[in-house]
Structure 1
């Protein structure tokens, strides 16, 4: 409330004779997850035109912080700071996030979990979901199309001990969809070898670099000419993985996307899609605000 003899200007505000409580009143009222409630118009003090209340002080709208909702809190970002929203890198401007125009891809429902990668010792189960890109929109994210969970955490018998999983290998293609691999090995196979570890997986694959390739000529595979006619005419279902010497190919979009490695010498860093065989068929934290209620007419 304004004290006797005190003016709105003494508090850095201006007197509004008609509707001092109109929305927005504060910078937080600009946030997408905050609803500004106005109520009947009343005269009183409010920030001058072009300014809003922030931390009890009137500031220009261009200096308003942006609110990024998180679990039970809202992270406040300064003007010019960037944040990732949906599939976009957005920038804090005038109390809200300015995001690029391209539409985000649409993700479908999750499929069921795959069988556990091992029967004991903490395996992994994967699940995937489809993604549909809009014309001229942002590309699908391989990470957003796959989830991993831990399964069968019970310890293995002493005769079935395995190493930890290696890091994921570099993608076999720089665009158009490739494969990445991680592996592990038996620490103590024992006299009977891997038979002591039934159902144990030692190698995992996942898709990577699923974004489309720029138009242009497709370089030939150096080992494709060595395939037999029977291998060339064989049909593979989408997602099938074919190994040839030290290279791997995955069937995607009616074509094989292959790694490019020199099997007789050092591994080369070249990786690109190869059309080999067309397949058929398929930064401070504040409490999380939810509502902004009007205050009394005075400051």
Structure 2
């Protein structure tokens, strides 16, 4: 009811439902020994044990909105205690999946997780450095507390009237930082009464009464690095056990004891009596007897309820809602048990009901497969619950013909190629073919034919003579001498193309020379210069000549300034002139 009113207020104010619906809860509850209110988890551990904290959250949320905290109980001298909040050992907004329990992890120190308050409207604003008792007892929806209690040490059993002495140093190595000890008596989970007359590391109780039995706690306060002031650094719990096996009375200086009902012995030593074995139990024949400490219990068989001594009547599991029938099954009570039957539309054993497979309604018809001319359209349906293994009768898809009102574009197609035209020459001629884009002619925006409208090829039975043609002139050679009179030359070849056997050769010179006008005059050595390299052959085929020169460096040279020698390139083609 409270959550429904809360969500209604959110909707009225226009606040998104996924924010309003965020509620933290403990998950799983099996982690807790005691659940105090829906969002307070109490677990008992020893130092060195592992503890896991986990929560569920209703609604969508961002992990950055979650914050984990560690709370330390702090006090100074005898002034009223106040609380101080500190981040948990893990980084902020990081979930401490497991922690190893330390001395300062016990109650009243505690862990908590919360959703950032700026994400949750209507939440009680809690002061950053204060936690009052009401907040822990009745936490707001955006907080969950995890409280670790130190497992109690069992002391006793004691009799009413016995004396009790507890020395903390017998159970805990007290650190040098310890300053104060507060002793309390447990009244209920998370509720304690301070023992005002006990201080220091020891506790004495003379002539104990029934109210003195139960859990006694001592919380040790001292200093801790990184935390200002004095904080709780450890906790120890002691379970003062009552001896239920005997009752003693004081008869002068002598104590006289006798065993209580359910125990047997001489009064000084009393042991549990097994009423189930010795025949003293008064259970119905159909009930099962279970021995307990100091007594016994009669348990009705499964499917029956009662005290087991006077009655065991049939239990209506259906009405009590303690059956295991499937959600989609009907429960029917039977003598000592119940029966589950799957509802209409489901099949199974009643404990696992599977929905029968049926066709879903037909989907709407799909658009026509074409935008012009004739096409098809389809619709489909699905056979539900394939996990049932059933097969639906009929087809999963249907098709129908559909026609568009718009004419479809017609793309053009080529006609056959025409006959070849006559050859234009007896040799080296060409002939041609044509075709037309009319098979069919493009219509209604159709595409024109792709490809050539016209093609040609060479024709003629005789091969035509090929006349020779010069290639480009080559580069000028270097000067025949580095100083004084010299010349440079360049050549070209008749190979662009080379003449065929009956073709005409190239006309003109294949070699050109010119003087080197920029050569400096020669000084120093006199006489002939070195011979130049042999020049290019004077013909492109057959036998020709090659030349080389030298230069006279003064007027007293004797001998020739030019030499020649024959050269052969290749045989000339037939008919070459």
TM-score, normalising length from structure 2? 0.11
Say which one has the larger Rg. 2
Taking CA–CA contacts closer than 8 Å with sequence separation of 6 or more, which of the two structures ends up with the larger relative contact order? Answer: 1
TM-score, normalising length from structure 1? 0.17
| Higher strand proportion | 2
